[in-house]
Amino acid sequence: MINVEYRPESDLLDVVLTGKIQFAQMKEYCLNLLKGITTPNCVRILEDASSAELLYDIDDAESLGSIIESELGQQLMVRHALIRRNPLDTAFGMIRVQCNSCDRYQLKVFSTPENGRHWLLNEN
């Protein structure tokens, strides 16, 4: 399951992934994540998959970043912290970081939500 909740006190999208997550679910999530966002500020996403089993491959991991980049539009800036705990999911996250080609989409992988939240809220 993928649960997305906006936290206005920190201007943060809090995303929690649990259970088995297929590529089709991740693709739908990526396609819909930025729809309807009209903030003049940077969109901050804390995506915690530490309790999930991501069931996709390297090619799928590469395409997820491309999907979000294509949804940015002309003005939107996104900072996206990926929380990953197991080695394979961490590797998929690192592939997404390396494939990122858009300056307005900043992406980093972390092992704890606290570190990801700190990066999102304290970096310019």
Q: How many domains is the chain built from?
A: 1
pLDDT in tens, 27-60: 999 888 888 776 666 889 999 999 999 998 888 8
- Has this prediction a pTM greater than 0.85? yes
Q: Kindly give the interhelix angle for 87-99 and 58-70, rounded to the nearest 10 degrees.
A: 40
93: CATH: 3.30.750
pLDDT in tens, 81-114: 999 999 989 999 999 899 888 888 999 999 999 9
Q: Name the residue range of residue 18's domain.
A: 2-122
